[in-house]
Each structure stands twice: as C-alpha cells, then as structure tokens.
Amino acid sequence: MNLFAFPPSRAPRLLNPLVLAYVGDAVYEVFIRQYVVSLTNHKPDHLHRLSTKYVSAKAQARALTRWLPLLTEEESDIVKRGRNAKSGTTAKNADVLEYRHSTAFECLIGYLYYCQRWERLRFLLDLALERDDV
C-alpha cells in the first residue's frame, strides 16, 4: 500500500520551486521526527529541542553546503531554482541568505521525493544528520 498516493499535477521539473520546497519541508520534518524518535529519550520537550537543531533554516543551510560538492548538474539546477525563488516571507531566526539556502535545501528534497529517487534522497538526508556541533 502506498500511503502517499497523490502524485503532483505535473512533472516535478515543471513545478514551482516553492511548491517543491513546501513538500520537501514536510518530507524532511517527518524524516527528522522519525530519527529523533529512534533515539532513547522520548520526552516531548527533548524531541522538539533536538528536532529544531536539524529543521532550522541555519541547520538546513549548513546541510546544503555539505551537499553541494556531491550534487549532479540536474540537482544543482533545482537548488538554484529554489534559492532564487521569491517566497515573500522571511525566517524568524535566520538571515536572508540562510533562508534562501534553506528553501533550496527543501526544494531539492521535494524534487527527489516526487521523482521517487528514494536511494538518492536517503543518502542526502543521512548526510543532513551530520551536525557540525556534535
């Protein structure tokens, strides 16, 4: 059974980068929540604090920096589209550049998700777990 059985209305390459980022944000959030629940401390406050170390704009921008040398030309193009997209909103706790890189990060996740490139998506998501402050 495929729990998420609603494909996008058009090919992923043709979707607005902010739409890809919207989906990528949700995919990444679920990935991180599953990760923190796999750890030993299940107190809700601890889960939330640990999750925010990964899902903040700053953390996502850092993860994207780690990804950049590993991206294909196609993936780099998607990242550029996401970075250059004008969202009309700003992050509460990040500067403009971090926020744009965070959007690019989420855009690529959404793209790989809709393209069903599961192995590649999992590889990059696992790299995002490697925090600089650990």
| CATH label of the domain that carries residue 37 | 1.10.1520.10
3: in domain: no
pTM (2 d.p.)? 0.91
Residue 111 domain-assigned (yes or no): yes
Question: Does the residue 117 lie in any domain?
Answer: yes
Catalytic residues: 25
In a domain, 2, yes or no: no
92 domain residue, yes or no: yes
Whether 1 is covered by a domain: the verdict is no
Domain span including residue 99: 12-128
d(CA 97, CA 23): 21
Q: What pLDDT is recorded for position 116?
A: 93
- Number of folded domains in the chain? 1
pLDDT at residue number 134: 42
The pLDDT of residue 66: 95
d(CA 29, CA 106): 10
Ranges of residues in the chain with a pLDDT under 70 are 1-3, 90-91, 131-134
